[in-house]
Amino acid sequence: MTELLPMKASFRPDEPIEIEIRGTVPAGALRVWHLGEFVSETAHDGAPLITLPALSEGGYGIELGELRTAVEVSASPRERLRYGFVANFAPDKNITGLCDTVRRFHLNGVMFYDWAYRHADLMAGGDDYRDPLDQPIALSTVQRLVAGVQAAGSRALGYAAVYAVGQKEWHLWQHQALLKAGGEPYALGDFLFVLDPAAPDWLEHFATDLKAATAKLGFDGYHLDQYGYPKRAIRADGVDVDVADSFVTMIEGVRAALPDAHLVFNNVNDFPTGLTARTQQDAVYIEPWAPQLTLQSLADTVTRARTAGEGKPVVLAAYQHVYESAAAAESDRATALTMATLFSHGGTQILVGEADRLLTDPYYVRNHVMEASTSALLKRWYDFLVAHDELLMPPSLTEVTHSYAGEYNAELDVGFEASKVTETALAGAVWRRIVRAGDRLVVHLVNLVAQTDTLWDAPRNAPAPQTGTLRVRRLKDRTPVVRAADPDGLGRLVDVLVSLDGDYAVAVLPEFAVWQLVTVDL
């Protein structure tokens, strides 16, 4: 196997930017590109490691012959979250596969799922133990993985459920139970019981456990989990608890106890994003379930979260269950449309982890081994995400579709000879979105022409390739620069020939299959 592999998922501006050249690759020139502009060229003489010239902050595409990768240079890595996972902490685990995954897919955050001894007693198991579902855990493995992830330029976030107590510890906490109408406690099956996450004695215990885990294992922060219910309940002492408010209190309490920790809270099915997104955490993380079943629902969820989060990165735990029931090709197409939707609206997805695994289930231990086609797809698309970050992720981006497109506006639009163009995700059409990024306009085209519905977690038909024509109102004595990029094509922006037609400039765009990103610089 030959590939380009950055030494880190994200580089600081003062760090040397090193690229590992894995496998036997002929001598040649390693080229760096930034949003369609050539940046630099460095000779490759066959050595396994090459150091790039200094780069300013931003995302860059890297090419060596047919090999591709990308690098991010950022002084503020918390402004983005490309999230992955690890769920195996066995004593003899080889950590190299996970570290390669972090570097290959530029994962700047890794969730350490179910590493703890018990949900309500994280550190009491000693050095080696079985977790509540009988998985073997060695804290030495957790420590090695934490160090490996950090050395790969990422952050290690320990999983912690914020209000779950197992049967053995329940007698200590049942006085804070959240009760159903019949008086029994809310629970996850008969396995975990639910208490008020803002109860002062619990919150003190929880924060103390997190601080102890940080000191022992070196976590950079925590993934704070809930189950989406109850939303309101009576506590065992008769207090009426609004659980959304309790979550806010809990996050604020953990932040006070761990002021430097990277904190991510799970808003299950968007509950209660409107409140928690504004707290002192570092990302807006949402686990979508029914009725969030369509591509449009994912887009709307990301849009709401970006507004509520006031600049925080947005991540969706959109589990691609489809891989468990459909062929890889059909499932890969579903994943591509999910990524196109999320990336084009400024969100990302937690999907890849371990050495070669995909998330297809909320219990992360039940993951899916990805085929080579899936790995290649994800590598192309994650490279594309990093290289075009400035056009996709900044909170300053503004949607202008409704003020630029259409006959009344007649400022900018894309048409297709035989396909309808829509402002929302509709089967049988090309879904068009226009965004303003500073002085540049960015057009997203998502191809749904061959689809009979817009479910994001269902087998997808092979796309019907599309070729669009862009028309944009031009400025006096100016010819706009139009560029197009496709994660399944060259992977970087290339110039498109522009002709003039009175007040307009016209460009015939390259053919694309799933998602095309077009920039227009007037």
- The pLDDT assigned to 189 comes to 87
Those residues whose C-beta lies under 8 Å from the C-beta of residue 171, and which sit 6 or more positions away, are none
Does residue 1 surpass a pLDDT of 90?
no
- Region of 320 (left: φ > 0; alpha: ψ -120 to 50; beta: rest) is beta
The domain that contains 107 carries what CATH number? Answer: 3.20.20.80
User: Do strands 515-521 and 494-496 pair parallel, antiparallel, or not at all (unpaired)?
Assistant: unpaired
- The pLDDT assigned to 296 comes to 98
User: Do strands 192-194 and 262-268 pair parallel, antiparallel, or not at all (unpaired)?
Assistant: unpaired
Those residues whose C-beta lies under 8 Å from the C-beta of residue 210, and which sit 6 or more positions away, are 122, 158, 160, 222, 254, 257, 258, 261
- The pLDDT assigned to 411 comes to 96
Q: Given strand 283-287, what is the order of strands in its sheet?
A: 347-349, 314-316, 283-287, 262-268, 221-225, 156-161, 109-112, 83-86, 352-353, 357-358, 368-369
Mean pLDDT on 465-476: 97
473 and 434 co-located in one domain: yes
Identify the domain boundary among 73, 91, 109.
73
Contacts within 8 Å (CB) and 24+ apart, 93-97: 93/138, 93/141, 93/144, 93/145, 95/141, 95/144, 95/145, 95/148, 96/148, 96/355, 97/354, 97/355, 97/356
Residue 468 lies in a domain: yes
- The pLDDT assigned to 77 comes to 85
98 and 211 co-located in one domain: yes
Number of structural domains (the chain) is 3
Identify the domain boundary among 50, 73, 96.
73
137 and 263 co-located in one domain: yes
* CA proximity to 78, closest of 231, 284, 255: 284
124 and 156 co-located in one domain: yes
pLDDT tens digit string along 321-352? 999 999 999 999 999 999 999 999 999 999 99
Give the gyration radius of the chain's Cα atoms: 24
- The pLDDT assigned to 442 comes to 98
Does residue 482 surpass a pLDDT of 90?
yes
Phi, psi of 52 (to 5 degrees): -85, 155
130 and 48 co-located in one domain: no
Does residue 509 surpass a pLDDT of 90?
yes
306 and 425 co-located in one domain: no
Q: What is the mean pLDDT of the chain?
A: 97
Amino acid at 323: Y
Residue 277 lies in a domain: yes
DSSP codes of every residue in 251-283? HHHHHHH-TT-EEEEEEETTBTHHHHTTSS-SE
CA 133 vs CA 121, 191, 246, 338, 411: distances in Å = 15, 10, 28, 31, 58
Mean pLDDT on 45-57: 94
94 and 140 co-located in one domain: yes
- The pLDDT assigned to 326 comes to 98
Q: In which domain, by residue range, is 502 found?
A: 398-521
- The pLDDT assigned to 403 comes to 97
Phi, psi of 512 (to 5 degrees): -140, 160
pLDDT tens digit string along 401-411? 999 999 999 99
pLDDT tens digit string along 182-197? 999 999 988 899 999 9
The domain that contains 511 carries what CATH number? Answer: 2.60.40.1180
> What percentage of residues in the chain have a pLDDT greater than 70?
100
Does residue 39 surpass a pLDDT of 90?
yes
Name the β-bridge partners of 5.
20
> What percentage of residues in the chain have a pLDDT greater than 90?
98
Terminal Cα distance for the chain, rounded = 43
- The pLDDT assigned to 359 comes to 98
- The pLDDT assigned to 504 comes to 97
Q: 69: pLDDT confidence band, cut at 50, 70 and 90?
A: very high
64 and 88 co-located in one domain: no
- Does an H or E element contain 302, and which? helix 295-309
Q: 266: pLDDT confidence band, cut at 50, 70 and 90?
A: very high
pLDDT tens digit string along 435-453? 999 999 999 999 999 999 9
301 and 407 co-located in one domain: no
- 5 within 8 A of 20, measured Cβ to Cβ: yes
pLDDT tens digit string along 104-123? 999 999 999 999 999 999 99
CA distance 117 to 132: 7
pLDDT tens digit string along 119-148? 999 999 999 999 999 999 999 999 999 999
**What tokens were used for 30?**
């390693």
- The pLDDT assigned to 360 comes to 97
Residue 138 lies in a domain: yes
